[in-house]
């Protein structure tokens, strides 16, 4: 008996949906084929088409989420569903589910907390994964890797496998598509073990349309990265501000200092007062960074203790 076939392992497929009536039946059918032991949950986010009815007719458990946005759906999914392994995938049928079993096997074999399916274009349609989207993804993924550490390929993938201790320790804050950024940063901040595996990314079913807006959602994701940097790396953020203010003040004060040394006079007193205020502001910014860094450490320790209180995925597998 393999680890995956253990009857003690509860696997849940959680599928966020918004107006995916043309695709959701295909996603559910693919889950039935490749992962028949999984409980399939469709979370309908205020759809105006027949998404919920189609999902229910296909045998999925349907939950309606009143608050709009994928972040709100993810928060509800992790709160409502009880499982040992969570497979999250978008309901648009763009992700090939043939790779789900290797992703779960990787989670079990490494006792990991997250496995991300990074997208590989199947090449069938040039508009499936446009060059602009790939470039934006690389830039945003690189920004997160640079700020928070870690080696990432596709931070914005909507196809992930989670352990129970990840799902139940994730304090979701985001409301919309920026939730993928928060999911990634949560794993990086707590130094959770995770892995990435390639998955085939394909075209949507004919007639269905993407809900993503390249510039609007890209801007929201960028703002989320900045907010997370301030909240999770306050010392670096405020120290950077203090350093810039101090450098500008010193460079501007140098001519005044030289004049005072040679003449004993301060010819531009208002400028000297302004530079003194700038230096005090720099010091205040640094002190704020130190104080908030201490608060952040306490928050991180609390999240880590909550995470450690939940058994790893291997504990759910029988002998």
**Is position 319 within any domain?**
no
Candidate from 169-183, 215-229, 297-311 with smallest mean pLDDT? 215-229
Which residue, 231, 265, 294, sits at the end of a domain? 231
Instruction: For residue 254, count other CB atoms closer than 10 A to its CB.
Output: 10
Q: Domain check: are 216 and 258 in the same one?
A: no
Q: Count up the domains in the chain and report the number.
A: 2
The predicted structure's pLDDT at residue 115: 97
What is the pLDDT, as a whole number, of residue 202? 86
Percent of the chain with pLDDT over 90: 49
Answer positive or negative: Cα dihedral of 217, 219, 221, 227: negative
**27's tokens:** 């996603």
pTM of the model: 0.83
In this structure, are 285 and 205 located in the same domain? no
In a domain, 111, yes or no: yes
Classify burial at 262, counting beta carbons within 10 Å of its beta carbon; exposed 0-12, middle 13-18, buried 19 or more. Answer: exposed
* Percent of the chain residues topping a pLDDT of 70: 83
Instruction: State the pLDDT at residue 175.
Output: 80
Question: Residues 89, 97: contact at Cβ < 8 Å?
Answer: yes
The residue to which tokens 């010193």 are assigned: 250
Among the three residues 211, 231, 251, which one is the final residue of a domain in this structure? 231
pLDDT score of 4 more than 60:
no
CA-closest candidate to residue 193, choices 112, 115, 309: 112
**Domain carrying residue 47:** 11-231
- Residue 78 and residue 209 in one domain: yes
Q: How far is CA 167 from CA 65, 181, 208, 310, in A?
A: 18, 15, 30, 10
**164-175 mean pLDDT:** 89
Q: Which ranges of 233-263 does DSSP label H, i.e. alpha helix? A: 234-263
Is 165 within 8 Å of 311 (Cβ atoms)?
yes
More confident residue, 210 or 22: 22
CB 232 within 8 A of CB 296: yes
Residue closest to 29 by CA, chosen among 57, 51, 66, 69: 57
Name the packing angle between helices 269-308 and 234-263 (round to 10°). 160
């Amino acid at each position: 008996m393999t680890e995956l076939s253990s009857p003690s392992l509860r696997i849940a497929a959680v599928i966020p949906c918004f107006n995916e009536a043309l695709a959701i039946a295909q996603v559910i059918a693919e889950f039935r084929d490749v992962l028949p032991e999984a409980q399939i949950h469709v979370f309908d986010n205020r759809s105006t088409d027949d998404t919920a009815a189609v999902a229910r007719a296909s045998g999925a458990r349907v939950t309606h989420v009143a608050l709009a946005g994928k972040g709100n759906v993810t928060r509800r999914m992790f709160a409502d569903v009880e499982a040992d392994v969570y497979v999250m995938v978008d309901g648009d049928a763009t992700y090939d589910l043939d790779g789900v079993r290797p992703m779960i096997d990787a989670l079990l074999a490494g006792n990991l907390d997250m496995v991300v399916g990074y997208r590989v274009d199947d090449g069938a349609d040039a508009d499936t994964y446009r060059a602009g989207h790939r470039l934006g993804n690389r830039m945003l993924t690189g920004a997160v890797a640079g700020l928070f550490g870690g080696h990432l390929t596709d931070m914005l993938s909507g196809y992930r496998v989670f352990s129970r201790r990840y799902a139940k320790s994730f304090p979701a804050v985001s409301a919309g598509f920026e939730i993928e950024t928060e999911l990634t940063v949560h794993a990086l901040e707590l130094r959770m073990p995770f892995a990435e595996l390639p998955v085939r990314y394909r075209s949507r079913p004919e007639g269905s349309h993407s809900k993503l807006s390249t510039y609007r959602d890209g801007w929201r994701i960028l703002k989320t990265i900045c907010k997370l940097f301030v909240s999770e790396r306050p010392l670096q953020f405020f120290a950077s501000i203090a350093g810039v203010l101090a450098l500008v003040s010193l460079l501007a004060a140098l001519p005044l200092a030289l004049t005072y040394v040679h003449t004993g006079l301060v010819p531009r007193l208002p400028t000297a007062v302004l530079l003194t205020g700038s230096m005090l502001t720099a010091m205040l910014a640094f002190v704020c960074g130190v104080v908030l860094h201490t608060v952040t450490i306490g928050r991180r320790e609390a999240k880590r203790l909550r995470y450690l209180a939940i058994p790893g995925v291997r504990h759910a597998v029988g002998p």
